């Protein structure tokens, strides 16, 4: 009964947030160059990207169109690997001058002591680093034999600073699903405070590698692992907000599933496209900073993100959980958009039947 | 009788028009005086309070500090900007290459050609900064200096003079 009331109120809250449509979180795909060649890369990044890095001035000009800085507004540098850019610190300082907070998603490969200090000096406030297993499984996924050691060094540096709010993300796959407990212990020993677990969706290079995708049984194993971890306070473990997980909703995250792509989350992509999260199908772009006013596009467009009734097709059409799920994470709509790419709840329900 | 009705109708139209004109003028005055902004802010505050109540009932206060699935956690902003200029006490000229570091912290920055430095650092109750000449005779020889900052509620600007050795 209480759970139903909470869910009902949450739906009302979600509707009000959707109507409000406040920009709180802006990704900047500042480069699509990458120093790694990960097996699961969703964006098919490479060392020699087809796109040149977006000049900092172009990005700053776009965000200067933002009127009335929303509460908790933050800019997240993503890529590719953002630390390949030499001017990240310059961009960061420029953002701080404007009253914006900023942070970085990094593979940790270039995150050494000197870079840590220069990023702090430039006013970095948050950081996400990827660790995809113990040494062997991490280096396998990252396709680089030095990656694990470098990531561990990055984690040690980040956790040495009270200033940076940072977390570790792990893409759970066939190779690391059985070492999650050891990874957790490793992270606790490195003084990490937060750990988010993902699955890999079959897009980009990951579409062609079945070793990366979990079976239904393994997915439930992952959910149960997170539930168990959350009973302890040593490290804050949670499932990412990648999808709706039915009966596990209140057990694996701090709040119910709410895909805020295009509702509170926007992005400026490498070619200037204006969209929501960078892993969303690029055909959903709402405009381009080189031809449109960024903030006007944010305010006046994004209808496809704000009204998700159109996702009630394919298997979602007859789904009893649609009102809570609304077509799962937006990044699960690709190609012809006739059906959701991955249904996390289906995995759970299928496993329960077997 | 007919004329009287037309007359009344015209008076009503005129009164309505006057009311409309006065309303527009009043609205513009409100805009100019900033009262309109205050009213909008009050309405917005009420909406925000309502939003927080609804979020609270659904036990989702965390929803106001959310994290995108492929993004970073939120920055809670516990830092301050420390900037300033280092000069020679004797000549008054700026000194390049002075290491400005935060004591008990790995952060530091070197002064530029104009003797200037600028960096963000964690906000504590107090902050001890060290100014060190580490490049030997390259930019002159200066005696190191420590400064303790205690009023850290806002960003800090420092004018530092170093004595020559």
Q: Angle, to 10 degrees, between the axis of helix A88-97 and the axis of helix A56-63? A: 20
β B145-149/B127-133 pair status: antiparallel
A125 CB neighbours in chain B (<8 A) are 75-77, 79
Cβ distance of B68 and A242 shorter than 8 Å: no
Chain B residue whose CA is closest to A279: B70
B19 Cα to chain A: minimum distance (Å): 33
- Distance CA(B122)–CA(B110), nearest Å, equals 18
Cβ distance of A103 and B72 shorter than 8 Å: yes
CA angle A337, A256, A314 (to 5 degrees): 20
Q: Tens digit of pLDDT for each residue in A33-44?
A: 998 888 887 654
Chain A residue whose CA is closest to B54: A13
Cβ distance of A240 and B69 shorter than 8 Å: yes
From the list A6, A160, A194, the residue facing B59 with the nearest CB is A6
3-state secondary structure of A118: helix
The torsion angles phi and psi of A116, rounded to 5 degrees, stand at: -60, -45
β A165-172/A126-130 pair status: parallel
CB A108 within 8 A of CB B82: no
pLDDT at position A5 is 87
Residue from A227, A233, A231, A262 nearest A247 by CA: A227
What ipTM was assigned to the predicted interfaces of this complex?
Answer: 0.90
Cβ distance of B66 and A260 shorter than 8 Å: yes
pLDDT at position B26 is 63
pLDDT confidence bin for B21, thresholds 50/70/90: low
A101 CB neighbours in chain B (<8 A) are 74-75, 77
Cβ distance of B122 and A258 shorter than 8 Å: no
CB count within 10 Å of CB A261 equals 25
Cβ distance of A120 and B121 shorter than 8 Å: yes
Chain A residue whose CA is closest to B105: A161
CB count within 10 Å of CB A90 equals 13
Q: Which residue has the higher pLDDT, A27 or A2?
A: A27
Residue from A103, A76, A39 nearest A276 by CA: A76
pLDDT at position B70 is 81
A194 CB neighbours in chain B (<8 A) are 73
Q: Which residue has the higher pLDDT, B69 or B14?
A: B69
Cβ distance of B57 and A6 shorter than 8 Å: yes
Which residues, listed in sequence order, are joined to residue A239 by a DSSP beta bridge?
A197
Burial of B136 (0-12, 13-18, 19+ CB in 10 A): exposed
Residue from A142, A200, A203 nearest A174 by CA: A200
| Res B16 pLDDT > 80 | no
Cβ distance of B66 and A104 shorter than 8 Å: no
Q: Which residue has the higher pLDDT, A335 or A341?
A: A341
pLDDT confidence bin for B15, thresholds 50/70/90: low
- Distance CA(B156)–CA(B82), nearest Å, equals 5
The torsion angles phi and psi of B18, rounded to 5 degrees, stand at: -60, -45
| Res B18 pLDDT > 70 | no
What proportion of chain A, given as a percentage, has pLDDT over 90?
84
Mean of the per-residue pLDDT values for chain B? Answer: 80
Cβ distance of B72 and A161 shorter than 8 Å: no
| Res B40 pLDDT > 50 | no
pLDDT confidence bin for B39, thresholds 50/70/90: low
Distances in Å between the alpha carbon of A140 and those of A43, A169, A300, B140?
18, 16, 44, 52
Q: Tens digit of pLDDT for each residue in A47-89?
A: 566 789 999 999 999 999 998 888 789 999 999 999 999 999 9
Best interface-test mutation with B: which of A4, A5, A6, A9 has the largest number of B CBs within 10 A? A9
pLDDT at position A301 is 97
Predicted TM-score (pTM) of this structure: 0.86
Query: Which residues in chain A belong to E strands, given as ranges?
Result: 25-29, 74-78, 101-106, 126-130, 165-172, 194-199, 236-239, 265-268, 273-275, 287-288
| Res B63 pLDDT > 60 | no
B68 CB neighbours in chain A (<8 A) are 25, 27, 76, 241, 260-261, 265, 277
Q: Tens digit of pLDDT for each residue in A103-149?
A: 999 999 999 999 999 999 999 999 999 999 999 999 999 999 999 99
From the list A9, A72, A162, the residue facing B58 with the nearest CB is A9
pLDDT at position A201 is 86
Q: Residue B110 is inside which H or E element, if any?
A: strand B108-110
pLDDT at position B66 is 79
CB count within 10 Å of CB A208 equals 9
Give the mean pLDDT of A296-308. Answer: 97
pLDDT confidence bin for B55, thresholds 50/70/90: low
From the list A6, A126, A261, the residue facing B58 with the nearest CB is A6
The torsion angles phi and psi of A36, rounded to 5 degrees, stand at: -120, 175
Residue from A274, A277, A266 nearest A330 by CA: A277
From the list A17, A74, A254, the residue facing B62 with the nearest CB is A254
Residue from A258, A289, A243, A242 nearest A64 by CA: A289
| Res A28 pLDDT > 90 | yes
A61 Cα to chain B: minimum distance (Å): 23
pLDDT confidence bin for A239, thresholds 50/70/90: very high
Best interface-test mutation with B: which of A3, A7, A10 has the largest number of B CBs within 10 A? A10
Residue A326 makes CB contacts below 8 A (sequence gap 6+) with: A259, A308, A311
Give the mean pLDDT of A186-204. Answer: 93
Cβ distance of A198 and B69 shorter than 8 Å: yes
Q: Tens digit of pLDDT for each residue in A249-275?
A: 999 999 899 999 999 999 999 999 999
Residue the block writes with tokens 């990490």? A192
pLDDT confidence bin for B36, thresholds 50/70/90: very low
């Amino acid at each position: 009964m209480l759970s139903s009331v909470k869910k009902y109120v949450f739906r009302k809250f979600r509707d009000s947030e959707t109507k409000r449509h406040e920009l709180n979180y802006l990704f900047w795909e500042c480069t699509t160059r990458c120093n790694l060649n990960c097996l699961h890369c969703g964006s098919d990044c490479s060392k020699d990207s087809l796109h040149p890095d977006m000049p900092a001035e172009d990005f700053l000009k776009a965000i200067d169109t933002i009127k009335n800085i929303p509460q908790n507004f933050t800019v997240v540098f993503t890529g590719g690997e953002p630390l390949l850019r030499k001017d990240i610190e310059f961009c960061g300082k420029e953002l701080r001058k404007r009253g914006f907070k900023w942070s970085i998603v990094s593979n940790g490969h270039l995150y050494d002591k000197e870079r840590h200090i220069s990023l702090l000096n430039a006013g970095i406030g948050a950081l996400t680093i990827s660790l995809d297993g113990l040494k062997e499984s991490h280096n396998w996924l990252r396709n680089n034999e030095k990656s694990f050691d470098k990531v561990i060094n990055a984690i040690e540096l980040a956790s040495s600073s009270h200033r940076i709010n940072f977390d570790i993300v792990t893409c759970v796959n066939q190779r690391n699903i059985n070492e999650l407990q050891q990874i957790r212990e490793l992270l606790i020993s490195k003084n990490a405070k937060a750990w988010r677990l993902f699955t890999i969706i079959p897009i980009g290079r990951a579409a062609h590698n079945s070793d990366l995708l979990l079976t239904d049984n393994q997915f439930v194993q992952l959910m149960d692992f997170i539930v168990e971890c959350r009973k302890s306070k040593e490290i804050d473990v949670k499932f990412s907000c990648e999808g709706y997980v039915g009966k596990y909703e209140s057990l694996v995250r701090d709040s119910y599933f709410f895909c805020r792509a295009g509702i509170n989350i926007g992005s400026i992509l490498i070619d200037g496209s204006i969209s929501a999260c960078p892993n969303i199908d690029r055909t959903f772009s709402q405009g381009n900073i080189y031809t449109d006013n960024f903030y006007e596009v944010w305010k006046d467009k994004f209808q496809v993100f704000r009204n998700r009734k159109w996702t009630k097709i394919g298997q979602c059409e007859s789904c009893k959980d649609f009102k809570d799920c609304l077509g799962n994470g937006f990044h699960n709509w690709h190609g012809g958009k006739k059906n959701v790419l991955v249904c996390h709840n289906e995995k759970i329900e299928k496993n329960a039947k077997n | 009788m007919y004329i009287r009705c037309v007359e009344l109708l015209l008076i009503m139209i005129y009164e309505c028009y006057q009311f409309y004109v006065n309303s527009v003028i009043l609205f513009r005055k409100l805009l100019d005086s900033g009262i309109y902004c205050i009213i909008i802010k009050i309405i917005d505050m009420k909406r925000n309070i309502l939003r927080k109540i609804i979020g609270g009932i659904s036990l989702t206060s965390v929803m106001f500090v959310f994290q995108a699935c492929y993004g970073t956690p939120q920055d809670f902003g516990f830092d301050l900007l420390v900037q300033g200029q280092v000069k020679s006490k004797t000549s008054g000229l700026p000194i390049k290459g002075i290491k400005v570091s935060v004591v008990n912290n790995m952060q530091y920055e070197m002064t530029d050609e104009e003797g200037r430095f600028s960096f963000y650092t964690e906000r504590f109750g107090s902050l001890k900064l060290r100014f060190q000449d580490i490049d030997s005779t390259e930019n002159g020889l200066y005696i190191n200096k420590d400064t303790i900052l205690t009023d850290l509620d806002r960003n800090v600007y420092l004018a530092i003079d170093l004595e020559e050795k």
